Amino acid sequence: MRTGRYAAAAAATMMMSCLLVLGPAPAPAYACDCAQLTEQEYAAEADLIVQAVVTGVRQPLLASLRSTDHPVRVRMVVEEVYKGSPDEHLILTTARDEASCGFTFREGHRYLVHARQGHTGLCAGNQHLSAAPEVPLDSRWSPAVVTAAVSAFAVAAAVGWWLVRRRRGSA
């Protein structure tokens, strides 16, 4: 009888831990409203305009628990410079979600990027140009992968603990 209660408590604890770590997916909110500008107006607003390939996008740790305007770091390899004088490797920030006017960059894709003071977004005039499979991507593990691995380890540890307790109780 006690074993059943321990099993139920362990299962409930594991489920709550997973929900706490992974969090519920937020419903989309559409709060960003961009004025339609001409290419010349976008260029005038930017202090940097480049053609670049995205090599890494780093979401904040536990992104689903943070606000949508929390900055995302985007690493790029600059192929061509139209305005400004960036290094060959560039790091920009954008809001995490389009609802907060963040631009959704995909690793391994080429973009025309407009930025101001190291920041870009949905209203900056960025354009997706093409996939760029010839450019190597960053090899670091993303926070999402690390979070999933830690969650899996925590669940496995809880199940192991429960099995040990169960065997001791039946012996």
Domain ranges (residues) in the chain: 1-25+148-171, 31-140
- Quick one: CATH architecture of 31-140? Beta Barrel (2.40)
pTM of the model: 0.61
User: What pLDDT is attached to residue 3?
Assistant: 60
Neighbours of 111 (CB within 10 A): 22
Residue tagged 């904040």 (tokens): 60
User: What pLDDT is attached to residue 93?
Assistant: 94
**Single-letter amino acid, residue 72:** V
User: What pLDDT is attached to residue 65?
Assistant: 57
Neighbours of 29 (CB within 10 A): 11
DSSP letter for each residue of the chain: -HHHHHHHHHHHHHHHHHHHHH-PPPPP-----PPP--HHHHHHH-SEEEEEEEEEEEPPTTGGGS-TTSEEEEEEEEEEEEES---SEEEEEEESSGGGT-----TTEEEEEEEBTTB--TTTT-EEEEE-TTSPPP-SPPHHHHHHHHHHHHHHHHHHHHHHHHHHHH-
pLDDT interval class at 132 (50, 70, 90): confident
Tokens of 91: 């790091």
Tokens of 129: 């140009």
28-79: per-residue pLDDT in tens?
545 788 888 999 999 999 999 999 999 998 876 665 555 666 789 999 999 9
